[in-house]
Amino acid sequence: MNPQRSSRKSQPKADPEAEEKPQNGQNGLFPVVGIGASAGGLEAFTQLLRHLPSDIGMAFVIIQHMSPDQESMLSVILARSTQMPVHDVTDGMVVVPNQVYVIPPKFSMTIERGMLKLTPRSRARGIFMSVDNFLLSLSAERGNKALVIMLYGGDSY
């Protein structure tokens, strides 16, 4: 039993379902920040994270485009710059506020119903638009709770 609910029973409510509704805006959605950068964006990522409070109420998704053959230590490096937990994304990972998520180099990523979805990156020639792919899904998912920070370069790996 929730002690807050029992103490409120004697108080009249204007909306009987108000307690069941999320209280943080657009259908309970918290802001998600998509941060895109070229392979040279490491310093910008670390500087940005270094200056953010750990209880900011937003989730941060880092999309750095790099060669699919390159191993990434980005999450380990970024974890040194912030008090927020930093995660290498796995398929189906649920996004929560006050955490940082890093795309793995061999995948394309989208967000759907609060979960990060990974699909293998094809080795076909041409432009791979990892930042654009994620940001389009973020916009569709979060609407005005989607924020974008572009730190470096274009999206053409």
Structure tokens that stand for 41 in this block:
């964006």
Instruction: Dump pLDDT digits (tens) for 117-150.
Output: 999 876 556 667 888 889 999 999 999 999 999 9
Instruction: Dump pLDDT digits (tens) for 57-101.
Output: 999 999 987 777 777 889 999 999 999 999 999 999 999 999 999
Q: What is the pTM of this model?
A: 0.77
